[in-house]
Amino acid sequence: MLGWRPVVPIRQGAPSPLQSARCDRTRRRTQCAKNRLCRPRWLGLITQGAALARACYYPCRIRPRRTAPMKRIGIIVAGSAYPMDGFKSGLRDLGWVEGEGVSFEIRAAEGQLQRLPEFASEMVSLGVDLIAVIGAVTVRAVRKATSTIPIVFAVVVEPIGDGLATNLAHPGGNVTGVTTF
């Protein structure tokens, strides 16, 4: 009777062939393959160490937040300052809120055109970042006062004919704006 083995009772505590070290490793591997929650200890230690290092390192790198410098926009109009409320409202819709990143310096000549050069030189001395104007007369007065500060105009009928721009696509210089045909 080849292949016949006598039935021998297994003693408690004695390793059986199914409990050998090799079978134990195989069993763990198959359990890990079935259950992804089974991970080696060293992976957990590395993860915890990386998290601790990151928690200790990043607070040292935090710097006080730099606030962007306040942008100053100079506005000069030949008439009243009332139309500038719409301009300020449009900038507010784009995220430029007065007092929170932008400030306005508004000068209105109230029809006294001889005051325009005075207002233009005042804006230059204030060091505004941009000068917004309405009308060709106002643009000419501001253009005489500065060649470095950007000038944005509105309601200029003929910017090329008035000598404010060389080309509508590329105005050249420090003057640009919106025109009507």
What secondary structure, in 3-state letters, does the chain show? CCCCCCCCCCCCCCCCHHHCHHHHHHHHHHHHHHCCCCCCHHHHHHHHHHHHHHHHHHHHHCCCCCCCCCEEEEEEECCCCCCHHHHHHHHHHCCCCECCCEEEEEEECCCCHHHHHHHHHHHHHHCCCEEEEECHHHHHHHHHHCCCCCEEEEEECCCCCCCCCCCCCCCCCCEEEEECC
Is the pLDDT at 42 greater than 70? The verdict is no
Give the residue range(s) of CATH 3.40.50.2300 domains in the chain. Answer: 71-179
Count the Cβ atoms, other than its own, within 10 Å of residue 162: 15
Highest mean pLDDT among 23-32, 46-55, 66-75, 120-129: 120-129
Is the pLDDT at 145 greater than 90? The verdict is yes
Stretch among 48-62, 97-111, 125-139, 154-168 having the lowest mean pLDDT:
48-62
Q: Is the pTM of this model over 0.75?
A: no
> What is the pLDDT, as a whole number, of residue 72?
93
- Split at pLDDT 50, 70, 90, the class of 106 is very high
Task: Domain 71-179: give its CATH superfamily.
Answer: Response regulator (3.40.50.2300)
Which has more confidence, 169 or 37?
169
Distance CA 104, CA 130 (A): 10
> What is the pLDDT, as a whole number, of residue 70?
87
> What is the pLDDT, as a whole number, of residue 149?
94
> What is the pLDDT, as a whole number, of residue 109?
92
> What is the pLDDT, as a whole number, of residue 100?
86
Tell me the Ramachandran region of residue 177: left when phi exceeds 0, alpha when psi lies from -120 to 50, beta otherwise: left
What is the average pLDDT value for the chain, to the nearest integer? 77
In degrees, rounded to 5, the angle at the alpha carbon of residue 65 between the alpha carbons of residues 61 and 71 is 150
**What's the first-to-final CA gap in the chain, in angstroms?**
113
